[in-house]
Structure 1
Amino acid sequence: MSSGPGVVTVRYFAGARAAAGAASEDVALPEGATVDEALALVGARHGERLSRVLRACSLLLDEVAVRDRSAPLHPGAVLDVLPPFAGG
């Protein structure tokens, strides 16, 4: 079995979806890639509007809140991007 790139699904919600222009996308990353590296890749792919959202968003990795953006990803992981929500 090769140790080539793994595919991670990035799902965008609310303003992140609008900034990315997609609800989700699959991202090929090298083995050992981190959450921060995945965010840098999609930010570069979609431009400054998404990059701004990514700096302020909350993240879920496989449905668990992740605060450490240096956390490693695994092939098949799902990374949810949740921008800040306004409240009343």
Structure 2
Amino acid sequence: MGVNTVVRVRYFAGARAAAGVHEEEVSLPHGATVADAVTSIAARHGDGLARVLAAASFLLDGVAVRDRATPVPHGTGLDVLPPFAGG
């Protein structure tokens, strides 16, 4: 169809610090995947966030993403969760 997919990306902890924002909307090509979203936000925010993204886990509308080839529907939320330390 050619219409872009808009995704609300929320960053937590170290991902928020690396991105410099808490939340943003990202426009992706129709049919984009979580991997496409990760590539897009890494390009937008640079190497610091790219390093965090390499080890991060993701939630798509609150559901853990096990496969980065998972499609990202228009209007969905993608949470970026860096590895957490502590106990």
Q: TM-score, normalised by structure 2?
A: 0.96
What's the C-alpha RMSD, in Å, of the aligned pairs? 1.0
Structure 2 unmatched runs, 5+: none
Corresponding residue of 2:48: 49
Which amino acid is the alignment partner of residue 21 of structure 2? Answer: A
Structure 1 unmatched runs, 5+: none
Which amino acid is the alignment partner of residue 61 of structure 2? Answer: D
Moved over 6 A (4+): none
**Pair 1:84-2:79 in alignment:** no
Distance 1:58 1:87 in 2: 17
Q: TM-score, normalised by structure 1?
A: 0.94
Distance 1:27 1:44 in 2: 12
Distance 2:47 2:54 in 1: 11
Which amino acid is the alignment partner of residue 51 of structure 1? Answer: A
Distance 1:26 1:10 in 2: 6
- Identity value in percent: 62
